[in-house]
Amino acid sequence: MRPKNLEKEEAIRTIALQIIAEEGLENLSMQKLAKAANVSPRTIYIKYENKEDFLVKLFIDEVLGAYEKAVLEKFKPEMVFAEGVKKLWANAFRFFKNNRPAYALMQYGKSSPLLNKAYQERDIKEGDFFSPIHRFLELNAKAGVIRKLPQEAYRAILFSPMFELTNEYFDCLDRPKQVVTDKVFADCCDAVIKGLLK
C-alpha cells in the first residue's frame, strides 16, 4: 500500500487542477485548496514554498510530462509531414478532451510567466520536451517539404490553432450545438498543413 502522505499529495494536486478548471487560476488559494483537500494549509506549505512554487511543480510534474507522452503516442519523426501533423493534433485533442483541468492549467500558463518560471526552475531547455517533434520538423524542413522557420514559429503555426479549436470545443459543451466536429477539426488541420508546405 502507498504511504498516506503520497496519497494526500496526489489528492491535493488533483483537486488543484479541478479548481483551476472550474473557477480559474486566480481563484485558487492555498487556503481554498487545503479546505477542499481536507488538510491543513501547513501540510501544503511543508512541500511547497508558496502558490507559485506549487503551480510550477504542478505544471511540470502533473501536466507537461503526461501531455508529452499522450502527444507522442504512435508518432515517429520519420512520418510523412501530413500524417505526422494529423497524429500530433489527434493525440493532443484526445488528451485535452479527457484532461480538461490539465488543459486549463496549460492555457493559464501560456498567458502568465508560469511556463518560463517552470522551465527556468527545472533548467528545461528547448528540445528537452517534445524532441521527436523538433526532429520531425527539422527533417521535413531539410528535405524541402516545409518552409524553414524557427522552432518557436512552427509551434505557433502548428499548435495555436489546435488550442483555439479546443477552446471552442469546451465552450460549445454548454451550448445546444457542438461546432468543433471531427470534420471541422480535420479540415482545420489540413489547412494548417497546407500553410506550411513549400
pTM here is 0.82
- Helix extents (H) in 24-150: 30-37, 41-47, 51-58, 65-71, 81-98, 100-110, 114-121, 131-142
Instruction: For the chain, give every domain's residue range.
Output: 1-47, 53-196
Written as one letter, the residue type at 62 is: E
Out of 31-45, 120-134, 164-178, least confident range: 120-134
User: Which CATH class, in words, describes the domain spanning 1-47?
Assistant: mainly alpha
What percent of the chain stands above pLDDT 70? Answer: 87
Q: Please state, as a whole number, how many other Cβ atoms lie within 10 Å of the Cβ of residue 177.
A: 6
Predicted confidence at residue 115, as pLDDT, reads 64
Domain 53-196: CATH superfamily, name plus number: Tetracycline Repressor, domain 2 (1.10.357.10)
98 or 65: which leads in pLDDT: 98
Q: Could you tell me which residues come within 8 angstroms of residue 26 by beta carbon, excluding any fewer than 6 positions away?
A: none
